[in-house]
Chains A and B, each alone.
Chain A
């Protein structure tokens, strides 16, 4: 079982308290009516499905209830970072450097 750091509670807690919530940084278009069918399709369905560091969302479901973002390596199942929803998308190169 993984340990996950909730950036809102600022605590590292067992995975059982959390739920996965899909890829991160996929913003709902501000004006959906103005986007094309293809753009809307991409928003709904198209995901990067990376092998390696993946930007994704988690929710501290059995805790504070907040959604937050994370970068997790899908090969090693290791979290590189977790961060608040409104924090900027962290640069991968810096994260990889830090994890070394």
Chain B
């Protein structure tokens, strides 16, 4: 293969070549490679263009914190993912990878003009440049910015993959399977606890995978990892790889996103792409290690500039040298070891530039042994190279003075600014951090959850220290579960302990104002931007962050936070802990919407409630409308009828003979008990004491504020039993409200409340022939007007089924509602429909129901009322039991605002031309010629074409409406002003003659 692949090195399988494409070009790698490691093995560093300036960028890391190497990955139609980190995506045969945010090609990108115009794009440019004029924002600036700046393009096709979710309960959840996590898992599992160990990588080992030369317990590090994983499995530990802990929530609930198929060439089609786990752990051990910091200097973003630890990972884990000639720039000992490993693998180390004047003597000796040039007390002030670094500018630093530069040729620059403990998840818990002056970083302080932090997350460094800390923290975690175990003690040979110092941007002999020294690579934020933000008055780190967008990219500032803080702290002249840190929020790394949705998509997104008669409606061509979670038959179009024609026909047929309607969605609540009548008296406005068993009444429910909440017909079946009906959408709300008052205000009342909505199928028959259709099926109830008058209820049999039969009307015609057990609903419907054919029975839907009720002025709560309407406003004062000492809402009705004059009241409207149908929701004004904004005095609540009235009718809430009868009001529409006359709300049969048999 290429000269950058080190034969036999790394954990990739050199016997299994894999071919994928990058921007259409065929690339070869090995099984175990990531996209980034395979590209680097082929000498390719240029992997993307930056967000704002379109600067050429390469991978700067080897892990999930990668800010630069974002690519699009594709697996056939629909399976496209933008912004995938090339450093994480494993390769497989046939994988299609494309670079992003470039046109026409990655190496020649027109958008790079932004880079020349960088002065324009300085901190706060959104706020400054585009303030004026407003129209320029919409037409010029925003489209330009959107086109020029950005990440990958969103997929446009539906995602054909499926996603899963599961719950998991465990004693100890350990996050991170590096040395600390493995040692913690051993302690906890050996103590007999149920342990779950997760890691975002494809295999356990963490940093040990990059340190093969270490000897743990006289065993090569990789052998120790293998042995440990085997023992953990033996002990029953659940080891989950490719699994990212995305968020740490209350009471030790941790969200895990497990990737199952993204690394496979041919997924089986059965396995979900990703699975979201909601883990409830008794104890959590955070062993997430530390992330290496870049150093901040001019040109620190050029392809080939990379973190030293990542270069070490590419070499040891993937068998890839990231270059032939490297310069090391470091403020931490760790980068020296990377240099040694690379030197031993054949890369020329042109120099180790250490910002410290006196680096560790042992390291200096090791370097000298290898013939490496050491430049202690030096800094880098610039890099050269268009698409790849070709040289670096190195200067000596004495105190605050920067000496003359020397240009050193190279093809990669490996930097280390020290290590930041990865405490994102710890921060999710609102655990507090404390500034550690010695390590110049934040460390965990006060814990808010049952957790331990182990290893590098606590600022420890070196394999031995981390292993021993992991073992101790694993033991500490199980101790609180009542299990005692002495933590194992580890000895490590060839360990690589070390220390370092922390920097703001590095000093320079050039104009610092022109330096392109990046702090946040992904959002293209430079040190200069941060200082500008402080100069322009930002004081809080939260303001600096938002003004510059530092740390606001999809990597959440994993690499930029501390560098940004150091620079802001310096600019403000305030120590770091006083400046503070911005908040980390879930998810830890970008997570797909699919993983969050899980099974909840398509028809599983929300239930569709169907009545027992729904299947008949479907077979008979009903059009449906959603009503809360129900789907209800809206109308039954015949032979190409439109809705208007169908509804007119259904209305006509019902008023002329008989219509049949599925009312099963009505809410039903059984109110039972010795105190049932007292409870009803207190809940509803109406008086119930004198309502005899066998009679029914319209019930009105208010809130204690006096406003209408719900209504429905209520039948008294026995002294101690009521059949309450509610609106379709209000059923659950009404039952909640009843339970609340019953349980907490009147616990002395002996009453039981039971929802029976789904137990009863309800069929409404309305029209002059309704009784003729129904009567032959009724057993046990005399159907004469005398024995069963309007507003009656009876427990009898209908069609052989036990039934609750109401004589009520929501249409103004003679009406019945038959409740039978749900299973009998469709059978009875079909019987009645067959028998009704000789009367031209007409099935109708909710639209006809709405028209018929509106013709009679019957309100629909929630349509003609909106939570600010009193019974008086709605013309329902008659429904109030004025003699009752109290009911819910009675005191509310006496509130000053509710008895004031000029409230909005429900009235009827007839358009002047007798043809125009108003729009529901349209606003009403008294004077159409007044200047805008006009004073709006009400709105249309219901509006239909009425076949019975022969014209459109409407209801509206209108200020002082009752006193405006006969007046003309105006409804301004976009194209014209409509005139209408204020009327009563009953448009048909005002005497109610048609209710009689």
Chain A residues at the B interface, C-beta cutoff of 8 Å: 1-3, 21, 27-29, 31-33, 35, 37, 40-41, 43-44, 57, 59, 65-67, 76-78, 85-86
Distance in angstroms between the alpha carbons of A86 and B892 in the assembled complex = 26
Chain A residues near B11 (CB, 8 Å)? none
Bound complex: CA A28 to CA B278 (Å):
40
Judged by a CB distance under 8 angstroms, whether B461 is at the interface is no
Decide yes or no: A28 and B740 within 8 Å by CB, A2-B250, A33-B885 being known contacts: no
Q: Tell whether, in the assembled complex, residue B740 and residue A66 are in contact, meaning their CB atoms are under 8 Å apart.
A: no
Q: Are A37 and B896 neighbours in the complex by a CB distance under 8 Å?
A: yes
Q: For the complex, is B154 an interface residue (Cβ under 8 Å from A)?
A: no
A76 touches B743 (CB 8 A): no
Nearest B residue to A26, CB-CB:
B744
In the complex formed, the residue of B with least CB distance to A86 is B747
A67 close to B739 (CB less than 8 A) = yes
**A1 proximity list for chain B (CB < 8 A):** 249-251, 253, 278
Q: Among the listed B278, B743, B896, which residue makes an inter-chain contact with A67, where contact means beta carbons less than 8 Å apart?
A: B743
A44-B892 CB under 8 A given contacts A1-B253, A33-B885: yes
Q: Which residue of chain B is the closest to A15 with respect to CB atoms?
A: B250
Nearest-neighbour CB distance to chain A for B432, whole angstroms, equals 12
Contact B251 A3 (CB under 8 A): yes
User: Of A32, A40, A66, A77, which contacts B743 at CB under 8 A?
Assistant: A66
Q: Is B448 an interface residue (CB 8 A)?
A: yes
Residues of B within 8 A of A85 (CB): 743-744, 747
- State the Cβ distance, B911 to closest chain A Cβ, in Å: 39
**Structural contact, B892 and A40, CB atoms closer than 8 A:** yes
Q: Which of A57, A59, A76 contacts B430 (CB 8 A)?
A: A76
Chain B residue, CB-CB nearest to A77: B250
- CB neighbours (8 Å) of B894 from chain A are 33
Residues of chain B in range 878-909 having any CB-CB distance to chain A below 8 Å: 885-886, 890-892, 894-896
Bound together, the chains give a CA A43 to CA B253 distance in angstroms of: 37
| Chain B residue contacts of A31, Cβ below 8 A | 886
Q: Is B704's beta carbon under 8 Å from chain A?
A: yes
Contact A33/B251 with A67-B739, A85-B744 known, Cβ cut-off 8 Å: no
| Residues in A whose Cβ lies below 8 Å from that of B779 | none
26 contacts between A and B (CB under 8 A): A1-B278, A2-B250, A3-B250, A3-B251, A27-B745, A28-B745, A32-B704, A32-B886, A32-B890, A33-B890, A33-B891, A33-B894, A40-B891, A40-B892, A40-B895, A41-B895, A57-B744, A59-B740, A65-B739, A67-B739, A67-B743, A76-B430, A76-B448, A77-B250, A85-B743, A86-B747
Task: Find out whether the CB atom of B891 lies under 8 angstroms from the CB atom of A32.
Answer: yes
> Which 6 A-B pairs rank lowest in CB-CB distance, beginning with the nearest?
A32-B891, A67-B743, A3-B251, A28-B745, A2-B250, A67-B744
Decide if A44 touches B704 in the complex (CB within 8 Å).
yes
A1 to B247, CA, bound (A): 11
B115 at the interface (CB under 8 A from A): no
Residues of B within 8 A of A3 (CB): 250-251, 280
Does the CB pair A2–B251 fall under 8 Å? yes
Given contacts A33-B885, A37-B895, A86-B747, contact A28 B704 (CB under 8 A): yes
In the complex, chain A residues whose CB is within 8 Å of the CB of B278: 1
In angstroms, Cα B705 to Cα A92, docked, is: 31
Specify which chain B residues have a CB less than 8 angstroms from the CB of A40 in the assembled complex: 891-892, 895
Residues of chain A within 8 A of B739, CB atoms compared: 59, 65, 67
13 more CB-based (< 8 A) A-B contacts, given A2-B250, A32-B890, A85-B744: A1-B251, A3-B280, A29-B891, A32-B704, A35-B891, A40-B891, A40-B895, A65-B739, A67-B743, A76-B448, A78-B250, A85-B743, A86-B747
List the B residue with the shortest CB-CB distance to A41. Answer: B895
Q: A3 to B450, alpha carbons, bound, how many Å?
A: 14
- List the A side residues contacting B892 at CB < 8 Å: 40, 44
Q: What residues of B have a CB within 8 angstroms of the CB of A28 in the complex?
A: 704, 745
- Kindly list chain A residues whose C-beta atoms are within 8 Å of the C-beta of B885: 33
In the complex, how many angstroms separate the beta carbon of B715 from the nearest chain A beta carbon?
A: 25
Q: How many residues of B contact A (CB 8 A)?
A: 25
- Residues from chain A with Cβ under 8 Å of B280 in the complex: 3
- For B610-637 the 0/1 string (1 means CB < 8 A from A) is 0000000000000000000000000000
Question: Which residues on B sit within 8 Å (CB–CB) of A66?
Answer: 743
For residues 888 through 937 of chain B, which have their beta carbon under 8 Å from a beta carbon of chain A? 890-892, 894-896
Closest CB in chain B relative to A15 CB, distance in Å: 8
- Nearest opposing residue in chain A for B888, CB measure: A28
Considering the complex, give the chain A residue whose CB is closest to the CB of B745: A28
Q: What is the chain B residue whose CB lies nearest that of A61?
A: B736
Q: Please name all residues of chain A whose beta carbon is closer than 8 Å to the beta carbon of B890 when the two chains form the complex.
A: 32-33
Residues of B within 8 A of A76 (CB): 430, 448
- Inter-chain contacts of A57 with B (CB < 8 A): 744
Query: Which residues of A are found within 8 Å of B744, using beta-carbon distances?
Result: 57, 67, 85
1/0 contact trace for B694-705 toward A, CB 8 Å?
000000000011
Q: Which residues of A contact B448 (CB under 8 A)?
A: 76
**In the complex, what's the smallest C-beta–C-beta distance from A23 to chain B, in angstroms?**
12
**B572: shortest Cβ distance to chain A, in Å?**
28
CB-based nearest A residue for B249: A1
CA distance A28 to B745 in the complex (A): 7
CB distance from A100 to the nearest CB of B (A): 13
Q: What is the distance, in angstroms, from A9's C-beta to the closest C-beta of chain B? A: 15
Tell me how far the C-beta of B672 lies from the nearest C-beta in chain A, rounded to whole angstroms: 16
Distance (whole angstroms) from the CB of B40 to the closest CB of chain A: 42
A31 vs B705: C-alpha distance when bound (angstroms): 15
Complex contacts, B891 vs chain A, CB 8 Å? 29, 32-33, 35, 40
Residue of B nearest to A66 (CB): B743
Which of B250, B448, B705 has the largest number of chain A CB atoms within 10 A?
B250
Q: Which of B251, B740, B886 contacts A21 (CB 8 A)?
A: B740
Complex CA distance for A27 and B251, rounded to whole angstroms? 32
- Chain A's nearest CB lies how many Å from the CB of B91? 37
Smallest CB gap from A2: residue in B = B250
Q: Which B residue's beta carbon lies closest to that of A4?
A: B251
**Chain A residue at minimum C-beta to C-beta distance from B252:** A3
Q: Shortest distance in angstroms between A16's beta carbon and chain B's nearest beta carbon? A: 10
Cβ–Cβ < 8 Å partners of A37 in chain B: 895-896
- Which residue of the partner chain A has the closest CB to B891? A32
In the assembled complex, the CB of B399 is this many whole angstroms from the nearest CB of chain A, namely 47
A76 to B249, CA, bound (A): 12
B745 to chain A, nearest CB (A): 5
Within the complex, the shortest CB–CB distance from B896 to chain A, in Å, comes to 6
- Chain A, Cβ-Cβ closest to B746: A28
Cα(A78)–Cα(B249), bound, Å: 12
Q: How far is the CA of A59 from the CA of B249 in the complex (A)?
A: 22
- What's the minimum C-beta distance from A75 to chain B, rounded to whole angstroms? 9
B256 to chain A, nearest CB (A): 14
Q: Which residue of A lies closest to B740 (CB)?
A: A67
Interchain CA distance A3-B705 in the complex, whole Å: 33
* Cβ proximity bits B430-462 to A, threshold 8 Å, 1 near / 0 not: 100000000000000000100000000000000
Give the shortest distance, in Å, between B30 (CB) and chain A (any CB). 42
Query: Taking CB as reference atom, which chain B residue is nearest A35?
Result: B891
A-side contacts of B896, CB under 8 Å = 37
B252-278 vs A, CB cutoff 8 Å, 1 = contact: the mask equals 010000000000000000000000001
* Contacting residues of chain B (682-729) with chain A, CB-CB under 8 angstroms: 704-705
Give every chain A residue within 8 A of B743 (Cβ-Cβ): 66-67, 85
A29 to B280, CA, bound (A): 43
- Which residues of chain B are within 8 angstroms of A78 by Cβ–Cβ distance? 250
Chain A residues within an 8 Å CB radius of B704: 28, 32, 43-44
**B740 surroundings in chain A (CB, below 8 A):** 21, 59, 67
Residues of B within 8 A of A21 (CB): 740
Docked Cα-Cα span, A19 to B253, in Å, equals 19
Nearest CB of B to A27, in Å: 8
* B665 nearest CB across to chain A (Å): 21
The chain B residue sitting closest to A69, CB to CB, is B744
Mask of B812-840 contacts with A, CB within 8 angstroms, 1/0: 00000000000000000000000000000
Complex Cα distance A32/B249, Å? 43
**CA A44 to CA B707, docked complex, whole Å:** 12
Closest to A43 in B: B704
Give Cα A12 to B278, complex, Å: 17
